[in-house]
């Protein structure tokens, strides 16, 4: 072929005229360059290692190792986040169901079951719950925990009904609070709520308590939170406490009651009379 500018003959593979320098063939752009706007780069010789530099940079083997390690690390982080999410969803399931049932206080139990698509039982699958709690209906976790070598469900939602088969109270019990210690959760000191009055928001009070409630009772006119905890006295003894905090349905603090729990005193039998007496 001939150069369109100077008319000199050129080889068919020549991209530039060797006589005048005129561009004979335009460089074809790759699909990637059309999107990125970057020009094609000449392919690297096959005998040059990936990322090889004169300064002794990473060779291909090290680069691949770092890349694989980064991928594995990213996957591990994703798995951990998914497990945490699953745990939080599962751990909040019982409380959410209790809150839903509390919206049906005063309604027929059958109506709540139908609309929430939940079947209530009249007894627990755990003997410990049947002996410890009084209820008419129960919805409970399928997973169990051990408290002082006794099995409990992780949580329960129990319902008390009226004579007319209407929901009277809904109680959420979280046995996981007792999993580490049957006395409840450990605190640094005794919880003091004397500074709060009936104008205080319940959310502020709960933030101050800063431990999970063992039991929450929903009634038509109030909500009662029961906390179980223990702390160390100045003399080194451990004091267990059951704290009940009550709010109205507008989530305003009403009052609190703390009851100290003491170990059961062992009765000492009188010594048997001697044979010579």
Tokens of 164: 């007319």
- CA distances 20 to 5, 15, 17, 110, Å, are 8, 12, 6, 95
Beta-bridge partners for 152 = 145
Cα separation, 112 vs 101, in Å, equals 7
Helices 60-91, 93-102: inter-axial angle, 10-degree rounding: 30
**pLDDT at residue 277 in the model:** 47
Enumerate residues 6+ apart whose C-beta is below 8 A from 56. none
**pLDDT at residue 56 in the model:** 52
Enumerate residues 6+ apart whose C-beta is below 8 A from 141. 93, 94, 153, 154, 155, 156
Cβ(221)–Cβ(249) under 8 Å?
A: yes
Cβ(226)–Cβ(216) under 8 Å?
A: yes
**pLDDT at residue 88 in the model:** 41
Integer distance in angstroms from the first to the last C-alpha of the chain? 139
Cα 87 versus chain centre, distance: 5
**pLDDT at residue 159 in the model:** 98
- The beta strand positions in 6-154, using DSSP E, are 137-140, 144-147, 150-153
Enumerate residues 6+ apart whose C-beta is below 8 A from 260. 239, 240, 241
Cα separation, 153 vs 225, in Å, equals 20
Buried b (16+ CB within 10 A) or exposed e, 226-246: bbbbbbeeeeeeeebbbbbbb
**pLDDT at residue 84 in the model:** 38
CA atoms within 13 A on the CB side of 183: 15
Domain boundary assignment for the chain? 90-261
| Nearest Cα to Cα of residue 101 among 160, 175, 177 | 160
Residues of the chain below pLDDT 50: 31-32, 34-36, 41-44, 48, 50-54, 81-91, 266-268, 277
Phi and psi dihedrals of 115, rounded to 5? -75, -30
- The beta strand positions in 55-148, using DSSP E, are 137-140, 144-147
Cβ(246)–Cβ(222) under 8 Å?
A: yes
**pLDDT at residue 103 in the model:** 96
């Amino acid at each position: 072929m001939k150069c369109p500018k100077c008319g000199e003959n050129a080889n068919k593979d020549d991209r530039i005229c060797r006589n005048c320098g005129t561009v004979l063939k335009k460089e074809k752009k790759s699909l990637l360059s059309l999107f990125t706007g970057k020009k094609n780069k000449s392919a690297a010789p096959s005998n040059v290692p990936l990322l090889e530099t004169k300064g002794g940079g990473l060779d291909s083997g090290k680069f691949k190792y770092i890349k694989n390690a980064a991928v594995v690390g990213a996957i591990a982080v994703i798995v951990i986040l998914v497990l945490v999410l699953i745990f939080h969803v599962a751990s909040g399931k019982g409380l959410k169901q209790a809150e839903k049932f509390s919206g049906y206080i005063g309604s027929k139990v059958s109506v709540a079951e139908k609309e929430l698509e939940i079947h209530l039982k009249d007894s627990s699958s755990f003997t410990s719950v049947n002996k410890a709690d009084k209820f008419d209906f129960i919805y409970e976790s399928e997973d169990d925990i051990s408290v002082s070598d006794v099995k409990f469900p992780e949580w329960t939602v129990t319902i008390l009904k009226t004579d007319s088969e209407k929901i009277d109270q809904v109680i959420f019990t979280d046995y996981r609070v007792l999993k580490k210690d049957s006395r409840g959760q450990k605190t640094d000191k005794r919880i003091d709520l004397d500074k709060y009055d009936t104008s205080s928001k319940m959310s502020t009070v709960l933030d101050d308590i800063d431990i999970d409630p063992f039991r929450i009772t929903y009634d038509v006119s109030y909500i009662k939170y029961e906390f179980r905890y223990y702390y160390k006295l100045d003399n080194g003894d451990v004091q267990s406490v059951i704290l009940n905090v009550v709010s109205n349905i507008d989530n305003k603090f009403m009052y609190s009651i703390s009851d100290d729990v003491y170990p059961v005193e062992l009765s000492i039998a009188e010594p048997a009379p001697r044979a010579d007496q």
